[in-house]
Amino acid sequence: MSLIAPSILNSDFLHLGSSIHMINESDADWIHLDVMDGSFVPNISFGLPIVEAAKEITEKPLDVHLMIVNPEKYIEGFRKAGADLINVHYEACKDKDLIAILKEIRKSGARPAIALNPDTPVQEIFEFCAYVDMVLIMSVFPGFGGQKFIEATYDRVKELKKFLNENQLETLIQVDGGVSHHNIAKLKSCGVDVMVVGSVIFNGENSIDTISELKSLVN
Ligand code: DX5
Ligand code: ZN
């Protein structure tokens, strides 16, 4: 079974509470929150107050995906706001002590994760896998919802899965971007544990039914 983590990025922000309540009532496992700073990615989304507001009305784990340049500055803040997982981009931490950052996330009480852009070789993060609960392989370039899934993702997931198996690591693999009914079963068969799904859920007619359909495809 793979987990489903709806991303609220493409939801109607005028009715964010309703979207969170919908996710609460659905088969979704986590809630994925995309924080963007306009520097690491060209888009600006939302920050701490939205994470805090979501936490007040949900029991589902909050999976906070930080697409920001200095994630280490905000670990405590996002943990206090209610993040259960804190995911930092490998590319944002290249000149930093990434292991220390991951340890700090763990110490804060959140589960550490690292995210990888589509053009970063998967092998570059192998040495950090033992320090994280999850690796996110981006299946689009981060910044916007509704983009086309990059097919090379399948091989990247398989490569990471092989490494994890060979090293007896239980690190979860997450995929984010362009996930839909068309590719979710194949992604599961390649080894993906957590599926982030955004626009497919919020652009459709019935979000709860869409989540159930996606969940049944990976069960
Ligand atoms: C993209 C974000 C994604 C996005 C997924 O930078 O990280 O979480 O919201 O949305 P879809 O499923 O529409 O690609
Ligand atoms: Zn995301």
* Predicted confidence band of residue 145 (pLDDT cuts 50, 70, 90): very high
Q: How far apart are the first and last CA of the chain?
A: 5
CATH number at residue 144: 3.20.20.70
**28-57: pLDDT as tens digits:** 999 999 999 999 999 999 999 999 999 999
The CB of 210 under 6 Å from ligand 1? The reply is: no
Q: How far is the CA of 36 from the centre of ligand 1 (A)?
A: 11
Residue 162 has pLDDT above 90, yes or no: yes
| Closest atom, ligand 1, to C-alpha of 179 | 12
pLDDT grade for 140, boundaries at 50, 70 and 90:
very high
pLDDT at 164 over 90: yes
CA 34/CA 29 separation, integer angstroms: 16
209 Cβ neighbours under 8 A, 6+ residues apart: none
The Cα 35–Cα 143 span in angstroms is 9
* 7 CB near ligand 1 (under 6 Å): yes
Compute the C-alpha angle 94/100/106, nearest 5°. Answer: 120
Contact 164, 134 (CB under 8 A): no
Question: Amino acid identity, residue 137?
Answer: I
What is the total count of domains within the chain?
1
CB atoms within 10 A of CB 39: 12
pLDDT value of position 204: 86
> Confidence band (pLDDT; 50, 70, 90) for 135?
very high
For residue 22, what are the domain limits? Answer: 3-218
What is the per-residue pLDDT across 11-28, written as a single tens digit (0 to 9) for each? 999 999 999 999 999 999
Average pLDDT, the chain: 98
